[in-house]
Structure 1
Amino acid sequence: MTALAAPPAQRSRYASDLALAAFAPVSWGTTYVVTTTLLPADRPLLAATLRALPAGLVLLAATRRLPRGDWWWKSIVLGMLNFGAFFPLIFFAAYRLPGGVAATIGSVQPLIVALLSLGVLRVRPARAVLYSAFAGTGGVALLTLTADAGLDPLGVAAMLTATSLMAVAIVLAKKWGRPESPLVMTGWQLTVGGLALLPATLAAEGVPSSVTGENLLGFAYLGIVGTAIAYALWFRGIDRLAPTSVSLLGLTNPMVATLAGLLILGQTLTFWQIVGFTVALGALVAGQSFTRRPAPVPDVPPIPQPAGRV
């Protein structure tokens, strides 16, 4: 069943889940402009650590819940994929690439998630969803890649690796489910990632000699809005939506990054960038419309089981 064929109440819940999950990539689209305008120059590990660890400790203190059983190692795996490895790579790419180029590389994530879902979850995305992912990637490329865009090889490699790690995290989170609320699990993973980053940051970059008010504003925005709130809603979306549906929302990231550059950095859009924006937006809408949804389960009493069956 597609989202459009679902009953009205289910469509309303689905739209609400999409809107809340979309807040995450929308906020992440501002990371590039915040990094270049507010954060200290050339400190990707510091930026990653201060984005993850304070937010994780605050959420951990607020929820007061710790993992149990095999969720200790699962939280470590997801925490390293989503934060411990992803954050420094994304900041490294943000320092070395124009925001549009970094976002374009990240837009291949729906295709990676689709392939991983096929192998790990045994879920075959609808052809319309795959076509939307291809179209969205092409539209984002038109939107963000310009003739004067710099392609630093290390930045490209970092962004491609970060995108792949997050795709793996999406699929694993869908496969493993969740034992606690998204807010609790966000705290676990942020703390794991931040603690892993802290010694590396102190060893490689050290403590900055001075921090400006703009730096504090940038760190606060990324930590509270772009991390604690955004990832709680992102994990909630992973729990409630199909993997390809979640990853297609990532197309909003480069569109927001481009609009932020347009409004804040004074950049302009060419004709082909406008075409790309339109194609990417159309692919996002089409992909969500054709994402397969499970049929609603009727509200009936459970069937009694014979004695001895569990």
Structure 2
Amino acid sequence: MTRPADLLITALAPAVWGSTYLVTTEFLPEGYPITLAVLRALPAGLLLLAITRRFPPRAWIGRVFLLGVLNFAAFWTLLFVAAQRLPGGVAATVISLQALLAIGMAWGWLGTPVRPVSVVAALAGVGGVGLLLLGPGAALDPLGLAAALGAAAAMAAGTVLSRKWRPPVSALSFTAWQLTAGGLALLPLAFFAEPKPPALDMVHLGGLLWLGLVGAAATYWIWFRGVERIEPAAVSMLGMMSPVTAVALGWIWLGQSMTPIQGVGAAVALGAVWVSQAAYQTPRRLASSEPPPPRSCRLTPRRWGVS
């Protein structure tokens, strides 16, 4: 059974990711999202590599590179395209479909049974995020929608494959490998697609330190630790903590208004997260509550001469 402590610790990661919008808009220069993504991922990955001093074996390089692309390079790039071409509420709502996609991928790649209550919770979570973020002027750009769906698929696939391809190393080493691979994959794209960024001042450096050390190194270590211990479909639902945190920070830090409908949306999203976690713990709880077999049916090692 998943321990509540593991759920709470893992939920910290998407909750912190909800600060990305605030930090990016208030503390970092505009117009360099891919370059900033490189500066967020690559130094954090190299720092963790220096700490762990463990590199992926040759047989794992292809898998690590693919995971780094899915979890960082593809996800962050497609997220940027979606944010450019769609209102933020539409982009976040479509990307929240990643929880539903993860259920299907976990069934196909890991053989995880599909629980109807989990599907309902995922759909309810998407609806909650929509109530939280969508406004009356939401527009639907086809390319933006495709990018948002691609970002959702990349995040879901990265989460499920991180569970399927768990190497026999610590979660910290696994995080270091993926962050480094994702940063290296983004590096040529940033070099050719964006102009040279301006000189960074102390405010910019503070924002990058937050996104790199806390928003990447620490939180992705927490996230991949959770992927090891929690069902992928359940851990993906925790991603809905991110838009809830983003709206809460906008209300607290930026003085943005929060409507009653948004409050309902936040409650629905959080309720869906809770239901999804309960759904993946219920079977084991039921199994643990079954009465033990009669004494006459128990076999002890001594009785069969096994030491």
Shorter-chain TM-score range? 0.7 to 0.9
Aligned to 2:236: 247
Q: Which of 250, 260, 265 is 1:261 aligned to?
A: 250
Contact 1:136 1:284 in 2 (8 A): yes
TM norm structure 1: 0.86
TM norm structure 2: 0.87
- 1:174 CA displacement: 1.6
Aligned to 2:182: 193
CA separation in 2, counterparts of 1:258 and 1:106?
A: 16
3-state DSSP of counterpart to 2:24: helix
Aligned to 1:212: 201
CA separation in 1, counterparts of 2:205 and 2:85?
A: 22
Residues 85-108 of structure 1: per-residue CA shift (max 9 Å, x gap): 222223444455554333222211
Identity within the alignment, %? 47
CA separation in 1, counterparts of 2:256 and 2:198?
A: 33
Aligned to 1:66: 55
Match of 2:30, as an amino acid?
Answer: A
Match of 1:28, as an amino acid?
Answer: W
- 1:213 CA displacement: 2.5
Change beyond 3 A, Cα 1:99–1:194: same
- 1:127 CA displacement: 1.3
Residues 157-210 of structure 1: per-residue CA shift (max 9 Å, x gap): 333211110101111122222321111011111111111211221222242232
Aligned to 1:178: 167
Change beyond 3 A, Cα 1:232–1:138: same
CA separation in 1, counterparts of 2:86 and 2:245?
A: 16
Unaligned 5+ segments in structure 2 are 293-299
3-state DSSP of counterpart to 1:148: coil
Residues 219-256 of structure 1: per-residue CA shift (max 9 Å, x gap): 11111111000100100000000111101101111111
Change beyond 3 A, Cα 1:149–1:225: farther
Q: Which of 128, 138, 144 is 1:139 aligned to?
A: 128
Aligned to 1:6: none
Greater displacement, 95-104 / 120-129: 95-104
Residues 30-87 of structure 1: per-residue CA shift (max 9 Å, x gap): 1122222222212121111111110011111111001124222111111111112222
Match of 2:130, as an amino acid?
Answer: A
CA separation in 2, counterparts of 1:133 and 1:193?
A: 28
The yes-or-no answer on 1:280 pairing with 2:250 is no
Compare CA radii of gyration and give the structure with the larger one. 2
Match of 1:198, as an amino acid?
Answer: L
> For this pair of structures, how many residues does the alignment match?
290
Aligned to 1:5: none
